[in-house]
Structure 1
Amino acid sequence: MADTMKVDKDGEQNIDEGLYSRQLYVLGHEAMRRMAKSNVLVVGVKGLGVEIAKNIALAGVKAMAIYDPAPVEIADLSAQFFLRKEEIGRPRAEVTQPRLAELNAYVPVSVHTENPFENPESLSKYQVVVLTETSLDNQLQINKFCRANGIYFVSADVRGLFGNVFCDFGDEFSVADATGENPVSGIISDISEDGLVTALDETRHGLEDGDHVTFSEVEGMEKINDGTPRKVEVKGPYTFSIGSVEGLGKYSRGGLFQQVKMPKIINFKSLEEQLRKPEFLISDFAKWDRPVQLHIGFQALSKFASNNGGKLPRPMNDQDAKAVLQLAGEIAKTIEEGAPEELDEKLLTELSYQAQGYLSPMAAFFGGLTAQQVLKALSGKFTPVVQFMYFDSLESLPSSTSRTEETCAPTGSRYDAQIAVFGKDFQDKIGNTKEFLVGAGAIGCEMLKNWALMGLATGPNGSIHVTDMDSIERSNLNRQFLFRAPDVGKLKSECAAAAAAVMNPELEGKVTSLRDRVGEDTEDIFNEDFWEALDGVTNALDNVEARVYVDRRCVFFRKPLLESGTLGTKGNTQVVLPNLSESYSSSQDPPEKSFPMCTVKSFPNKIEHTIAWGREIFDSSFVNPAQSVNLYLSQPNFIESTLKQSGNQKEILETIRDYLVAAKPLKFEESIEWARLKFEKLFNNDIQQLVHVFPKDSVTSSGTPFWSGPKRAPDPLAFDLENKEHRDFIVAAANLHAFIYGLKGSTDLGLYRKVLDAMMIPDFKPQSGVKIQANDSDPDPNANTGFADQDELKEIAESLPAPATLAGYRLTPVEFEKDDDTNHHIALITAASNLRAMNYGISPADRHQTKLIAGKIIPAIATTTALVTGIVCLELYKLIDGKNKLEDYRNGFINLALPFFGFSEPIASPKGKYNDTEVDKLWDRFEFGHNVTLRELIDEFEGKGLEVTMLSHGNALLYASFFPPAKLKDRYPLKMTELIEVVSKKPVPAGRRNMIFEICADDKSGEDVEVPFVCVKTKDA
């Protein structure tokens, strides 16, 4: 086994970014390096333990060991995804170890053979010890040893719909980055004599009290630029104070502030002390009083097991529950701080009833949460749980089936641990569910794993459909845990479905895998019969467009939808309930942040601007020109249609001429020359021209310096092949230019040196009369808003070689691919961005940061994914049960970095009214059970006191009150499907049973009415 790190020729440790790329954007290189030096032990590998171990292995530690000599039992299969029925009786750790080891080739997994409770010294080689399925007495013993030997300690347990986690990272644990958020920065407009800092142009600074900042480029107060972190006191959204600035000079102009992450020290207490004086992280603020109750209850369960040979209370057994309550009463007296006035007997009785239960979603929730605490301990990244956290999902208990001691008793089934919580009848309902999973990536894999363990769709009437059009990439392996290295290149949906069936053979033949995108173009595949047969839909998507489409189909067919998503350590879940809640499309995320073109083109002041510019250079040099050339060569009327356009006709034709004639290389050396001239234009000539138009000493009409505030005066660069950034740009640009023309590239520096030494670079003299847009609010003086001179365009067109003389000749546009480190794509953008940053005195970014921004990569980590899917499946239990009240469900938002958990009821769907009739604006619709005529439809609305003023289907306007009577006379007798075909001149798709119409209408008082859409059954109904 290899380490997570590769060691380069200089002895530096390098992370395998191809595997860990998405996780690196969450944790960072330093945190990953710390993790890669650490050994972890996980004690107990039932459902929770294996979830924790799985997430740690995927994250990439140096090595991991597991300890669990107990034999596999049939009930383990309810939550332990690496166990098989034929392995019952074999030691859990022994069976689990080889399958854990398959997850990450960089993380060796071994079986810890010594009993840690008999020989705690055997734990000395580990940096973190995680205990699950461990008695409280043993937890106290191991915690004492860990504290004495500087070993981080974590314990966790799940009992049915209840669970907890405890952390002890010792005295003075240092958190290097408490939140994981990117440090904020900004431009300064003023620093007063009393230390009040004002951000430029009322730009929100984004700081909080207690943050620290450093300053740079401040004129008049040069001493403040010494890099000393200064504590912030926020005075308003645009101002903050740094205290006394005496002796630092008087502010003149300019300056930047940069937030600095300062270490946060946390003093953890021992488990023994925390049992008496517990500190709680609240997981659900609607249940703020439960943590101390469950704190007592879990201790009572452990004491009960100690008194009964290690056996937990029997499911739904009142005698055992009374014994637990009695023990809880005794334990409550030992709580020294925050003890409850009285015990919640109903809650603790339920805890006893479920003690032998083991649910995959709860294991997923606490497996993700606990593994993240381990990573926090090793890396110092993010704030750990201090020190207990309890969570329950009692709302998931079924109300449609009975729970008795008899119905929850073991049956010899792989679902016995789930039956212990829900009963046999509810297990049958789970098995006969028909669910549609849209997406088989990170969330999709976790979802299928949970469903397999839950027994979803394993009954005679159950089914799962899963679709995903993507194939498996290497970067997927770090978090999409159903896939292994040999699966790279294969279809995600097929591999995920096959892996789920291995976990639970009862799924064999119950999962249908598809490779089709769910959208308007596949409605013949995902047709009305398909949607109507479903019980529910679960999204596991990574883009808004697909989410919106699936959401709208669920609204139309009135199917519940489970929606979720992750972004690094953040996750959210949403339940869409027919006739009750709003849908996913009812609210919108803020638009993606973009930068003004003027700023990107001429006046960048931060690295994000230069990266956006570098991506534009990539497209305008290696993508768009080749596409334009190919259009010219393949479309006979291309020149004619271009001449008829307004805008950038001249630019298009000149680009074609350049790439087809002037810049067309016959050998790779000519691509090197092209790259060198490109460098000269972008980083020298263009900068000289800009400073010529706006000299460094120029002032605005108000008399203020032009180069001030956000505008940074640039300097041209003199090419130097020995400069890495200069060299990287030439190599990447030359290879990409050669690729377009089908030439073989090279990275031989000797060849570059030979070509460049022989080149003569023409001198550049800035031109007068060139206009450059000075501010984003000003019109672009070079904008192509009209037609260019036709004679000039024809002259350029006539200079082009005739397409007939280049029959079959095509250029190859570069298709941007961010995850291939050998294709020069990210290398080009990184070099271009950093050279641009050098022009403007901006701190450069490494390839890793550039790749994140230019590639619009969504940071991801396995722990968040596991936790979020656990929450989703807890809501799925409720949907299967048929709960029909909003207060029964929870939408969730979590941030594992803080850590923060927020749960709330779904928002009710919007309501409206027309005349005296109430209506649900989202879920209600006017339905016609047969293919009515236009006249019949309008008459039906008139009978409801509504006057139809407009009726449309898609882009086809079928009826409007202002249409001439003659036109309406012809349309009134037509069936609605006939009317659609006449107006749109397109046939209604075969097999379409429902047609949707948008309608505008007035009520009796003449007011506009917000009427839900109209659904008409077609002739095929």
Structure 2
Amino acid sequence: MAASGTNRRYEHLVASLGNELFEAIRSAKILMVGAGGIGCELLKNLVLTGFHDIEIIDIDTIDLSNLNRQFLFQRKHIGMPKSQVAKESALRFNPDANILAHHGNIKDSKYGPEFFKKFTLVMNALDNIDARRHVNRLCIATETPLIESATEGYLGQIQVIKRGVMECYECQPKPAPKTYAYCTIRSSPTKPIHCIIWAKEEFLTHFGDQERVVNQEQEEEITDEEVKAEEAKIEAIKEKSFSEYLFRKLFYLEIYKKIRIAQLTKKDLWPGRETPVPIMLDQLHLYSNGTNDSTNSVESLPDQQIMSLKQNADLFIDSVNRLVERRSKTGAMDFDKDDDDALNFVTAASNLRSHIFTIPVQSRFSIKSLAGNIIPAIATTNAVIAGLIVVESFKILRNSIEKCRTVVLQKKPSAGRLLLSCASEKPNPDCYVCSSHFVTLECDTDLMTLGVLVEGILRGRLGMNEPSITVDSDILFESGEDLDEEEVKRMKLQSAKKLSECRIVNGTIIEIDDISQNFQLKISIVHKNNFAEEGQTFNIVGKATPLPTATKTKGEDKLDEKAQDDDEVMIVDAPAVPPPAPSKKRKAQFEEKDAKKSKVVSLD
């Protein structure tokens, strides 16, 4: 490119990078996913390096807490879409760039495989595993190179991903999210995080989408007259003041009921611990403050101070009143750590519950970090990682992807170096995403429902977006925007069934298809009803477990011969249950593929 006129700004780039690489940079079409800490630094680097054709996707809006490290944003931008403001700010560095901003969710169907195919390179600047897995699968499906990145405090890492050349994001197992036994959360919390999780569930129960609320507590069966009298008193004030009703219900009645159950059954529900103390709203002055003023520094910010019991009670009443008013206007809400009313509710509710169970109360700042799963971020770390992303992109654009390195930024020098690099690993042959497409699921098929399989495992643990479940040629479950109202109702009924009622039993192989990710997976089911860890209900293994050999009966030799020719034949010992009919879209897909799959054979 001639370095004259408006292109004079690129003279130094042509001189340092060479004409061939610079032309590749100018012609490359880049997708950048995420416009937060890493994204702001990365977008600035891209436009200053001469990248011309860039698209950005981010679902978030700008919050005050972003301004200390996301330098493309200012106070006047609070509440505005990150992607749009990042675009406008980056254009000041290089008005010649062509940037298209999308304010939306990368998991939306419009950002599917066809959308990804048009890009030369994808750069991830995300802050959650779920979205990373989704982008990884789309890049694997479309064979688009991906540069993955992450930071946490002083630590950072980048990784280049290319199908068939180097390992993908899911080739190595990621730490499973920490889970807690449901009975601990609801009945015997011992840590602040237990109370925070409980408070978030209560927020969704009273102000969220009821159909998305999972594991709502079933009311204990108790016929005690004293409890009934207290219930009647509290129910009487519901119409007059919902906030006062909810306070009395959560922090007095529910605790009082548990104490009465313990007394009537003569069971110690809290062994080795103090019995919880219910809180009465009109007698707050009788309780200990629940805080030590010496823990609050005069210089500390309000959000970092520990509130008294009365302050938490007042905050709870105020937040409930605000949320009730908002719900009447806008409908159901999701918990958002940056929503002041939602965070105030969770802060106050978790601290009040902590007081009841003699657990140290927390500051609003600490609760925001725990409730929002916030990872500490440092601007310098983001800048280093963003720079490394651009360096690795040069190797890809030079068609030298084999020279790409995985680079780790350390907190402390090792052999005098903060940056350590190594050759990228080859794909893991057992990876269920880019290689084997096969995993084993251990679970109790008589207890687990199809809904838990979909929400907790396929979406929650395996990062799928719109999964459909097939056993042989029968579709047991499907999801997606194309389902009509009747189909949605049928799927809801289907979700309540136990796996065994859906013919998913020990030895069954189920096929999962996620059209939005262009991703297919087979899952081998192993029935198991006891696990080593408390609260564990399933286990996922990244490689298929051999199916148990069925006992042959007369006439089965021919069936075995057919099975050797057609590996999609499966023998199950469950009774046949008619599955729901596929949607119109799914029918069309089966016709288009002309799928010839064998029927399930049921042996007596």
Give the TM-score, by structure 2 length: 0.59
Q: Tell me whether 1:550 sits opposite 2:135 in the alignment.
A: yes
CA distance, structure 2, for counterparts of residue 543 and residue 838 of structure 1: 32
Deviations 1:632-685 (A, max 9, x none): xxxxxxxxxxxxxx995999xx9xx9999745334x5x74465356433356x2
| Candidates 109, 117, 140, aligned match of 1:522 | 109
Helix, strand or coil at the partner of 1:445:
helix
The equivalent residue for 1:692 is: 263
Helix, strand or coil at the partner of 1:464:
strand
**Distance change in 2, residues 1:513/1:841 (3 Å):** closer
The equivalent residue for 2:313 is: 730
CA distance, structure 2, for counterparts of residue 658 and residue 867 of structure 1: 62
CA distance, structure 2, for counterparts of residue 502 and residue 989 of structure 1: 50
| Candidates 613, 625, 630, aligned match of 2:198 | 613
The equivalent residue for 1:665 is: 239
Contact preservation (8 Å) 2:238, 2:245: no
CA distance, structure 2, for counterparts of residue 996 and residue 863 of structure 1: 54
Helix, strand or coil at the partner of 1:490:
coil
| Candidates 149, 160, 164, aligned match of 1:564 | 149
The equivalent residue for 2:435 is: 921
Which structure has the greater CA radius of gyration? 1
Helix, strand or coil at the partner of 1:505:
coil
> Structure 2 matches for 1:709-858, cutoff 5 A?
711=273, 714=276, 719-721=283-285, 723=289, 725-739=308-322, 741-742=324-325, 813=332, 815-821=334-340, 823=341, 825-858=342-375
> Structure 2 matches for 1:838-987, cutoff 5 A?
838-885=355-402, 888-896=403-411, 901-911=419-429, 921=435, 954=513, 984=582, 986-987=584-585
Amino acid at match of 1:665: E
CA distance, structure 2, for counterparts of residue 607 and residue 871 of structure 1: 38
Give the TM-score, by structure 1 length: 0.37
Q: Tell me whether 1:623 sits opposite 2:182 in the alignment.
A: no
The equivalent residue for 2:46 is: 451
Q: 1:546 offset after TM fit, Å?
A: 2.1
Contact preservation (8 Å) 1:679, 1:730: no
CA distance, structure 2, for counterparts of residue 953 and residue 513 of structure 1: 33
Helix, strand or coil at the partner of 1:429:
helix
Contact preservation (8 Å) 2:167, 2:426: yes
**Distance change in 2, residues 1:662/1:552 (3 Å):** same
Deviations 1:595-646 (A, max 9, x none): 22233333333333333333344444x336x948x99xxxxxxxxxxxxxx9
| Candidates 159, 166, 176, aligned match of 1:581 | 166
RMSD: 5.2
Helix, strand or coil at the partner of 2:408:
strand
Deviations 1:297-329 (A, max 9, x none): xxxxxxxxxxxxxxxxxxxxxxxxxxxxxxxxx
The equivalent residue for 2:456 is: none
The equivalent residue for 2:33 is: 438
Q: Tell me whether 1:499 sits opposite 2:89 in the alignment.
A: yes
Amino acid at match of 2:335: F
Amino acid at match of 2:41: E
Contact preservation (8 Å) 1:740, 1:814: no
Q: 1:562 offset after TM fit, Å?
A: 0.4
CA distance, structure 2, for counterparts of residue 858 and residue 472 of structure 1: 17
Amino acid at match of 1:514: H
Amino acid at match of 2:407: G
Q: 1:872 offset after TM fit, Å?
A: 1.2
Amino acid at match of 2:411: L
CA distance, structure 2, for counterparts of residue 689 and residue 815 of structure 1: 34
- Identical aligned residues as a percent: 28
Amino acid at match of 2:584: K
The equivalent residue for 1:156 is: none
Amino acid at match of 1:433: A
Amino acid at match of 1:531: F
Q: 1:828 offset after TM fit, Å?
A: 3.8
Runs of 4+ in 1 over 6 A off after TM superposition: 657-661, 950-953, 988-992, 994-1000
CA distance, structure 1, for counterparts of residue 183 and residue 26 of structure 2: 59
Contact preservation (8 Å) 1:665, 1:671: no
**Distance change in 2, residues 1:424/1:827 (3 Å):** same
Contact preservation (8 Å) 2:313, 2:352: no
Deviations 1:375-434 (A, max 9, x none): xxxxxxxxxxxxxxxxxxxxxxxxxxxxxxxxxxxxx94334444433233222222212
CA distance, structure 1, for counterparts of residue 285 and residue 412 of structure 2: 43
Q: 1:736 offset after TM fit, Å?
A: 4.1
Q: 1:557 offset after TM fit, Å?
A: 1.7
CA distance, structure 2, for counterparts of residue 455 and residue 658 of structure 1: 70
Contact preservation (8 Å) 2:251, 2:278: no
Contact preservation (8 Å) 1:665, 1:741: no
Deviates more, 1:983-992 or 1:715-724: 983-992
Contact preservation (8 Å) 2:192, 2:354: yes
**Distance change in 2, residues 1:518/1:811 (3 Å):** closer
Helix, strand or coil at the partner of 1:565:
strand
Helix, strand or coil at the partner of 1:954:
strand
Amino acid at match of 1:907: E
Tell me which of the two structures has the higher relative contact order, counting C-alpha pairs closer than 8 angstroms and 6 or more residues apart. Answer: 2
Deviations 1:849-908 (A, max 9, x none): 1221123223222222111111111111111111142xx221123243788543222110
> Structure 2 matches for 1:292-303, cutoff 5 A?
none
**Distance change in 2, residues 1:613/1:467 (3 Å):** closer
Contact preservation (8 Å) 1:739, 1:812: no
